[in-house]
Each structure stands twice: as structure tokens, then as C-alpha cells.
Structure 1
Amino acid sequence: MTKQTIPKMIVWGFLMIISQWLTGILMQGLIENDVGLVSLGLIGLIGMIGWLAYGCRAWLNLTFTRKNWLWGVGALISLIVTSLIWVLIMQLVTGLAMTTNQQQLNQNLIWTGWRQAVMVLQVVLIAPVLEELLFRGLFQAWFLKQQEIWQLVISSLLFAWLHTGSGGSGGAWVLYFSAGLILGYCYQQTKDLKVNIAVHGLYNWISLII
């Protein structure tokens, strides 16, 4: 642990809190059909993404390499297969075919018009970009760079906690922890956030339509 580790942990934690606060504002606005709250949440989230993207610009590789995108395809297939396996296990064990987070998303998709469009934008673009910038871009650049296994484990635990909270089922924890491992390992191999963002966004989009 270096002298900069604790300040970086504080900054990273603060950014996580801000991202969740802004997401909460956006979702509350959608629930209440409040254009003002939705606009505030969107402006805050897009501004945060722009600021983080500028800070992480060194990892947003603008070149397209076949190797990196093959890693991305492999990661996407792994995410889909892992999700199907764990959803099947959850259904057999608990009788539930989806996580609480997925159930909430499906309920929100009954919205129509502009609210549905904003919800899809949040799930397919805003959330994947923000999460990849925070979990892969900053976390994996700042912490445990010489201990990649622990880097994967800890970042994946935090990723699972973000999506399930303290009340998530064991199956949901394993599902999101596995997703964190796959996305984290993909980034370790490519060092290209662009690939991770594309994979994460496509995975969320597929989760919405199936």
C-alpha cells in the first residue's frame, strides 16, 4: 500500500456514492414522471461520464485491434452462458428465474413514451459506460496492479454489491460476481475500456429483450 492508496480509495468511494445518488435522482424522476428530476439526473450522470472519460482517456483506446475485439466477443458469450446457467440454477433452487434487479428493470419497461426511452438509455448506455469507467478504468488502474487475481476478486465483489445490495440472494450475488470477473478479466487482457463498454452495453441490451 502506497501513500496514495487511501486518498484514492476515498475518491473512488466518493465517486461511487455520487454515481448512485445521481442514478437515484434519475430513477425517482422516472417513477414520478417528473421531467425536472429526470433532466437533473441525466445532466449529472452525463457530466460525470464526461469528466471520468477525460480522466480515463489513456485507457479509451481509439484503435481497433482484432485481438481485443475477439476478447470482447469471448467475454460477451461467457456472460450470456454464465447468466443462463445461474438463472437455471436459481429457478431450480428458489423458483425464481431472475434476480430482483432484473425484475425491477422488467417492471420499469412497462413505461411508455419518453420514460421508456430514458430507461433503455440508462440501462444500455449510461450505466455500462459509468460502471466500466469506475470499476475497470479507475479501480483496476489504481488498485492492486501487481496482484491481478485479488484485483479481480475485490472489484467483482464490489460490482456484485452494487447490483444486489445487502439483501440480494446468494444466486444473484454469484451471478453478478461472475459477471464482474468476466468483465474484469477482459479488461486485464485488452486494456481497452472501449471493448468493455461495448460488451457491457450489449449484455444489458440482450438482458432487456429476452
Structure 2
Amino acid sequence: MNKSKNTYHPIKVILLIITFLFLFLMEQLPLSILTLTKKELGANYSSYISYAPLLTLILLAISTIILIFVFKHAQKFPTQKFTKGTWMIVVIATVLTMVINFATVPFMRSSNENVDALKLVANNNMVILILFTIFVAPILEEILFRGILMNWFFVDRPFLAILLSGIVFGYVHAPFSANTDWIYALSKILLGVVLAGVYYRTKNIKADITVHFLNNILAILGGTIISGAVLL
């Protein structure tokens, strides 16, 4: 992504990895607050359901501000303007995400940890889930997995940066284990690669945010928000 050579001291790399993990956990925390159930909380559920959404929104705002701040200092090149070429890449990438979804969804399991978590959030607050899915997730995830990760790691090796972005994106949606739905994981890896490719080619984080947004809004319009199969 940047033709200038970058050298990293091992300690700096370790610090970047630790910081990235912290940012990831920070980005995940707000929505995870809404995954508790009435069975787990018992009599406390009514009070929980009254304050948890507000706390979630406050933490989402804080996470957004911090991630944008880090991204602005992480990006190693000037943001390019949106052009007709940019929109062409967005359209092509959106079509690719649809192809990946149509090719993989029929072979996925009916449920997995990510889908189950989305269902819990939906049970507690459908409005916040839709808000997060349409607007927040495309922004925060693209800033984190493309804008920050690709500017911190393998900057001089774009192919590796794109591949790493896709693999990490796939892993956080479907952690690799003996029980992993590998078709689901593969779909997320491929989608992550497409989004990373958009960021690399356009040099504008808004381009891959747009693709991410279109993927999710098309999933919602298609009635798949609860299944979560094609949501990013």
C-alpha cells in the first residue's frame, strides 16, 4: 500500500499486536452486553433490559471515536477521492460478495456461535441490532480490519496484508476449532479479502465501508438478519 520500506522492531510488532487485540475487544464489547438472557439474570432481567441498551450505545460511541482516532494516525497514505473508477470497484466488489454468499450459504450449518450471538441481541433489542448491522458494523469493522490492520502489518507486501486481513476477519467471525463451520469461515475469509482488496485499490476506507454496508443491507432486505449467514 506504500512503496516506502518499513522496518519493524520485534518489540514494536508485539505492541502493535497487543494494541490491535485491545481495539478488537473494545469494538466487540458494546454489542456483547446485549447477549445476556432472562434465564441467566432471572429477576434482574427487567432492570438489565432497561439500562443495557443505553450502555451499549454509549460504549459504541466511545469505541467509534477511539477507532477513528487510531485509524487517522495509522493510515500511511493520503485518502483518494471517490471517482467513477471507485464506484466501479464498489459495484464489482458488491457483486463478488453476493456471489460468495450465494455459493456458500446453502452449505453452511443452520447455526454457529456468531449467529447465536446475533439472535440473543435480537431478542433483547432488535432496533440496536439493525442499527449496528447497517451502520455501525460496516464502519467499525472496516476501520479495524482494513484501515488499521493493513496499515500496521505487511504495509510493503499488499498481497500478504490483504490475505491477513481476510484470515483475521474470518477467524473473528468463526474461530477455528474442531467444531468450526469451515464453509462459514471460508465465506468470511473470502469476503474479508474482497473488502481488503477494495481498500487497497481505492485508497479510501469509505469505499470498503460502502461495500460492507451494501452486503448487510441486502441481507436484511432478503430477510436473513436473524440467520446471520451473510451479515458481516
- Tell me the TM-score normalized by structure 1: 0.83
Q: Deviations over 1:151-176 (max 9, x none)?
A: 12222111011111244311011110
Other-structure match for 1:20:
28
CA distance in 2 between partners of 1:187 and 1:123 (Å): 20
Pairing 1:161–2:175 present: no
1:149 matched residue in structure 2: 159
2:41 is aligned with 1:41: no
Tell me which residue corresponds to 2:82: 64
| Pairing 1:53–2:71 present | no
SS at match of 1:165: coil
CA RMSD, 1 decimal: 2.8
3-state SS in 2 of match to 1:144: coil
Shifted more, 61-70 versus 173-182: the winner is: 61-70
1:29/1:69 CA distance change after superposition, 3 Å: farther
Deviation at 1:104, TM superposition (A): 5.7
Matched residue, 1:119:
129
Quote the residue 2:198 is aligned against.
186
Structure 1 residue ranges without an equivalent (≥5): none
Aligned residue for 2:139? 129
1:2: which partner in 2?
8
205 and 98 in structure 1: CA distance in 2 versus 1, 3 angstrom threshold: farther
In structure 2, the CA distance between the partners of 1:130 and 1:124, relative to structure 1 (3 Å rule), is: same
Query: Displacement of 1:63 after TM fit?
Result: 3.7
**In structure 1, distance between residues paired with 2:111 and 2:83:** 35
Q: What percentage of residue pairs aligned between the two structures are identical?
A: 23
Contact 1:29 1:35 in 2 (8 A): no
Alpha-carbon distance change, 61 to 29 in structure 1, aligned in 2, over 3 angstroms: farther
Q: Structure 1 residue 87 and structure 2 residue 105: aligned?
A: yes
1:200 alignment partner, one of 212, 218, 221: 212
Q: Which moved more, 1:131-140 or 1:6-15?
A: 6-15
User: Where in structure 1 do 4 or more consecutive aligned residues deviate above 3 Å?
Assistant: 26-33, 57-63, 96-109
Superposed, 1:165-180 pairs within 5 Å as: 165-166=175-176, 167-180=179-192
Q: 1:30 & 1:130 partners in 2: Cα distance? A: 29
1:192 partner letter: N
Change (3 A) 1:55 1:203: same
> Which digits, 9 at most, give the CA deviation of each residue in 1:40-85, with x for residues without a partner?
1221122111222233247694843221121111111100111101
TM-score, normalised to structure 2, is 0.76
Instruction: Please tell me whether Structure 1 or Structure 2 has the larger radius of gyration of its CA atoms.
Output: 2
Q: Which has the higher helix share?
A: 1
